[in-house]
Structure 1
């Protein structure tokens, strides 16, 4: 068996790729917190099946004591390393959009997921000042005010349709 660190360029990312007997690949992922472990485990059990067979990694096992998940490899190859043309990138993004739409429509949210989703607009509004502080002097006064205005609007939106989302939908470089 061969083991390779497959963590992302993020200080809390802890992922290892395992090449097991027969050349199959598995991933061990250690979640950064109980909250993330619980959320991801629930998603693999109840939401990922809605994406369709072979469209996402499958959860093979998990260990709550260690916040660890054992996953199959995702089908396909990472797009950023393929040297895709503009048209091919559009097709990749169209497929990602289709999968996200399936995820949004994966069924009724459980009670824990519903409570988190209901609080997400308020949490986003609450986070605006934190992100403005991180931006420091990179934003003009007008840009800072624009962020504050949008944060205030989030507090007035009212009820919105709730659904599952992908919390880390981005291209990997």
Structure 2
């Protein structure tokens, strides 16, 4: 029975390592998308802002899909690629700190063959109603990412413990 338990532990560890390897490669790969619109967000403000991008589904569902662009320093930019097959609108949201939304803009994509450039030159909120919806989406997105981070950390802990138990030498005298 002990040999079956050890075999099961070995198979579980190998399967877990392969799943996590695939997941990390998928998450860290550059997001080039065929038939996509390139979006360049340029920060012209004197402070570093944390930017999020929300794609608005123009279908009946009206889904909002948030994506974290990252923190952009002054006079720097970030490029994202948007799959705009279900959408022709996106929102750019900028935060100063964790909860202080200082920038919100709504952008239409009339021609999906031309890349977009958004230069953030001032603190603006184009629509209070839409920015409240964007704030809820960003908060939900951050909450889901925090939950995912906790689960991944716990899974890594279990994987490490199983790996250590497999590799340690049995010191029975």
Greater length-normalized contact order (CA 8 Å, ≥ 6 residues apart): 2
Q: TM-score range by the shorter chain?
A: under 0.3
Choose between structure 1 and 2: higher helix proportion: 1
Q: TM-score, normalised by structure 1?
A: 0.26
Larger Rg: 2
More strand by share: 2
